[in-house]
Amino acid sequence: MAEAVRHDKTARQLRLLSDALDSGRLGPVRRLVNTLSPAEIGNLLESLPPGQRSVVWGLVDAEDDGEVLLHVGDEVREGLIADMDPDEIVAAVEDLDIDDLADLVEDLPGTVIDEVLKSMDRENRERLEQVLSYPEDSAGRLMNPDVVTVRTDTTVDLVLRYLRLRGELPDHTDHLYVVSRRHQYLGRIALQALLTHDANTQINALLDDEQPAIDVGESAEEVARRFSDHDWISAPVVDDNNILLGRITIDDVVDIIREQAEHQALGAAGLDEDEDLFSPVWRAMRRRLVWLSINLATAFLAASVVGQFEGTIDKLVALAVLMPIVAGMGGNAGTQVLALMVRGLALGQVGASNIRLLLWKEVRVALLNGVMLGAVLGSIVLAWFHNLGLSLVIAVALTLNLLFAALAGVLVPVLVKRFGYDPALGSGIFLTTVTDVMGFFTFLGLATLLLMQ
Amino acid sequence: MAEAVRHDKTARQLRLLSDALDSGRLGPVRRLVNTLSPAEIGNLLESLPPGQRSVVWGLVDAEDDGEVLLHVGDEVREGLIADMDPDEIVAAVEDLDIDDLADLVEDLPGTVIDEVLKSMDRENRERLEQVLSYPEDSAGRLMNPDVVTVRTDTTVDLVLRYLRLRGELPDHTDHLYVVSRRHQYLGRIALQALLTHDANTQINALLDDEQPAIDVGESAEEVARRFSDHDWISAPVVDDNNILLGRITIDDVVDIIREQAEHQALGAAGLDEDEDLFSPVWRAMRRRLVWLSINLATAFLAASVVGQFEGTIDKLVALAVLMPIVAGMGGNAGTQVLALMVRGLALGQVGASNIRLLLWKEVRVALLNGVMLGAVLGSIVLAWFHNLGLSLVIAVALTLNLLFAALAGVLVPVLVKRFGYDPALGSGIFLTTVTDVMGFFTFLGLATLLLMQ
B15, B160, B329 ranked by CB distance to A296: nearest: B329
Residue B200 burial (10 A CB sphere; 0-12, 13-18, 19+): exposed
Domains held by chain A: number = 3
Nearest residue of chain A to residue B252 (CA atoms): A231
Cα-Cα-Cα-Cα dihedral sign, residues B272, B276, B282, B285: positive
Instruction: Tell me which of A75, A214, A278, A281 to substitute to probe the interface with B (most B C-beta atoms closer than 10 Å).
Output: A281
Q: Is the pLDDT of residue A130 over 50?
A: yes
DSSP state of B219: B
CA distance B291 to B270: 6
Does residue A364 sit in the same domain as residue A443? yes
Kindly indicate the confidence band of residue B50, based on its pLDDT and cuts at 50, 70 and 90. confident
Does residue A112 sit in the same domain as residue A161? no
* CATH number where B211 lies: 3.10.580.10
CA distance B345 to B134: 27
Instruction: Tell me which of B99, B256, B365 to substitute to probe the interface with A (most A C-beta atoms closer than 10 Å).
Output: B365
Q: Do B6 and A284 touch (CB under 8 A)?
A: no
Kindly indicate the confidence band of residue A2, based on its pLDDT and cuts at 50, 70 and 90. very low
**pLDDT at position A4:** 39
Cα-Cα-Cα-Cα dihedral sign, residues B160, B164, B170, B171: positive
Going edge to edge, which strands form the sheet with B234-238? B214-215, B234-238, B244-249
Kindly indicate the confidence band of residue A9, based on its pLDDT and cuts at 50, 70 and 90. low
Does residue B262 sit in the same domain as residue B291? no
Q: Is the pLDDT of residue B399 over 90?
A: yes
CA distance A44 to A219: 31
Which secondary structure element, helix H or strand E, spans residue A343, and what is its range? helix A318-346
**pLDDT at position B9:** 60
Does residue B215 sit in the same domain as residue B292? no
Contact list in A for residue B361 (CB cut-off 8 A) is: 278-279, 281, 284
As a whole number, mean pLDDT of residues A17-36 equals 82
**Residue of higher predicted confidence among A394 and A74:** A394
**Residue of higher predicted confidence among B169 and B5:** B169
CA angle, corner B221, sides to B219 and B225, nearest 5? 120
Contact list in B for residue A352 (CB cut-off 8 A) is: 11, 15
- Most confident of the following: A79-93, B23-37, B369-383: B369-383
Q: Residue ranges of the alpha helices (H) in B347-422?
A: 355-385, 388-418
Q: Which residues contact A160 (CB under 8 A, 6 or more apart)?
A: A194, A199, B195
Does residue B15 sit in the same domain as residue B77? yes
Kindly indicate the confidence band of residue A67, based on its pLDDT and cuts at 50, 70 and 90. very high
Nearest residue of chain A to residue B162 (CA atoms): A196
Distance, in angstroms, between B14 CA and closest chain A CA?
7
Q: Is the pLDDT of residue B259 over 50?
A: yes
B40, B173, B322 ranked by CB distance to A229: nearest: B40
A192, A292, A302 ranked by CB distance to B373: nearest: A292
CA distance B300 to A322: 8
Contact list in B for residue A285 (CB cut-off 8 A) is: 365, 368-369
Q: Is the pLDDT of residue B173 over 60?
A: yes
Q: Do B303 and A291 touch (CB under 8 A)?
A: no
CA distance B23 to A53: 65
Which range (B105-114, B172-181, B228-237) has the least confidence?
A: B105-114
Does residue B311 sit in the same domain as residue B260? no
Which residue, A136, A171, A201, sits at the end of a domain? A136
Dump pLDDT digits (tens) for A245-270. 999 999 889 989 988 888 888 888 88
B48 with A354: CB under 8 angstroms? yes
**pLDDT at position B10:** 59
CA distance B50 to B79: 8
**pLDDT at position A186:** 95
Domain assignment present for residue B276? The answer is: no
Task: State the virtual CA torsion across B23, B3, A418, A410 in degrees, nearest 10.
Answer: 70
A39, A196, A261 ranked by CB distance to B167: nearest: A196
Q: Do A336 and B3 touch (CB under 8 A)?
A: no
Of all residues in chain A, what percent are helix, strand and coil, respectively (each to 5)? Answer: 70, 10, 25
As a whole number, mean pLDDT of residues B156-175 equals 90
Distances (CA, A) of A438 to A89, A301, A312: 56, 11, 17
Kindly indicate the confidence band of residue A190, based on its pLDDT and cuts at 50, 70 and 90. very high
Contact list in A for residue B192 (CB cut-off 8 A) is: 168-169, 173, 191
Q: Do A7 and B228 touch (CB under 8 A)?
A: no
Domain assignment present for residue B381? The answer is: yes
Q: What residue numbers bound the domain in which B204 lies?
A: 149-266
Kindly indicate the confidence band of residue B269, based on its pLDDT and cuts at 50, 70 and 90. confident
Distance of alpha carbon A217 from its chain centroid, rounded?
Answer: 20
Does residue B295 sit in the same domain as residue B436? yes
Domain assignment present for residue B272? The answer is: no
- Collapse the DSSP code of A54 into the 3-class scheme (helix H, G, I; strand E, B; otherwise coil) and give the result: helix
B258, B271, B317 ranked by CB distance to A336: nearest: B271
User: How many CA atoms lie less than 13 Å away from B116 in the CB half-sphere?
Assistant: 28
Which range (A76-80, A165-169, B331-335, B372-376) has the least confidence?
A: A165-169
**pLDDT at position B11:** 60
**pLDDT at position B228:** 87
Contact list in A for residue B317 (CB cut-off 8 A) is: 310, 313-314, 320
Q: Do B336 and A39 touch (CB under 8 A)?
A: no
Domain assignment present for residue A399? The answer is: yes
Q: Do A196 and B169 touch (CB under 8 A)?
A: yes
Domain assignment present for residue A212? The answer is: yes
B147 with B247: CB under 8 angstroms? yes
Domain assignment present for residue B158? The answer is: yes
CA distance B60 to B82: 15
Does residue A420 sit in the same domain as residue A290? yes
Q: Is the pLDDT of residue B171 over 70?
A: yes
Does residue A90 sit in the same domain as residue A179? no
Does residue A348 sit in the same domain as residue A394? yes
- Most confident of the following: A6-20, A21-35, B214-228, B272-286: B214-228
CA distance B330 to B434: 9
A37, A229, A314 ranked by CB distance to B39: nearest: A229
Q: Is the pLDDT of residue A239 over 90?
A: yes
Does residue B128 sit in the same domain as residue B189? no
* CATH number where A415 lies: 1.10.357.20
Q: Do A40 and B303 touch (CB under 8 A)?
A: no
Domain assignment present for residue A27? The answer is: yes
Kindly indicate the confidence band of residue A440, based on its pLDDT and cuts at 50, 70 and 90. very high
Nearest residue of chain A to residue B428 (CA atoms): A332
Distance, in angstroms, between A352 CA and closest chain B CA?
8
A432 with A375: CB under 8 angstroms? no
Task: State the virtual CA torsion across B2, B8, B9, B15 in degrees, nearest 10.
Answer: 160
**pLDDT at position B179:** 95
- Collapse the DSSP code of A36 into the 3-class scheme (helix H, G, I; strand E, B; otherwise coil) and give the result: coil
Which range (A232-246, A429-443, B84-98, B146-160) has the least confidence?
A: B84-98
CA distance A116 to B447: 63
Strand partners, B215: B238
CA distance B382 to A73: 42
CA distance B273 to B141: 19
Which residue, A136, A166, A187, sits at the end of a domain? A136
Dump pLDDT digits (tens) for A369-392. 999 999 999 999 999 999 999 999
Kindly indicate the confidence band of residue A6, based on its pLDDT and cuts at 50, 70 and 90. very low
As a whole number, mean pLDDT of residues A2-9 equals 45
Q: Do A303 and B321 touch (CB under 8 A)?
A: yes
Which residue, A240, A266, A292, sits at the end of a domain? A266
A247 with A237: CB under 8 angstroms? yes
As a whole number, mean pLDDT of residues B76-92 equals 90
Q: Is the pLDDT of residue B126 over 60?
A: yes
Q: Which residues contact B136 (CB under 8 A, 6 or more apart)?
A: none
Does residue A289 sit in the same domain as residue A257? no
Domain assignment present for residue B121? The answer is: yes
In this prediction, what percent of chain B has a pLDDT beyond 90? Answer: 55
Phi/psi of residue B144, each to 5°?
Answer: -110, 125
A336 with B269: CB under 8 angstroms? yes
Kindly indicate the confidence band of residue A1, based on its pLDDT and cuts at 50, 70 and 90. very low
**pLDDT at position A52:** 87
Tell me which residue of B429, B299, B281 sits closest to A401, measured CA to CA.
Answer: B299
CA distance A357 to B53: 13
CA distance B261 to A268: 13
Q: Do A46 and B347 touch (CB under 8 A)?
A: yes
Average pLDDT, chain A: 90
Cα-Cα-Cα-Cα dihedral sign, residues B397, B399, B403, B408: positive
CB atoms closer than 10 angstroms to residue A197: 20
Instruction: Tell me which of B6, B23, B176, B444 to substitute to probe the interface with A (most A C-beta atoms closer than 10 Å).
Output: B6
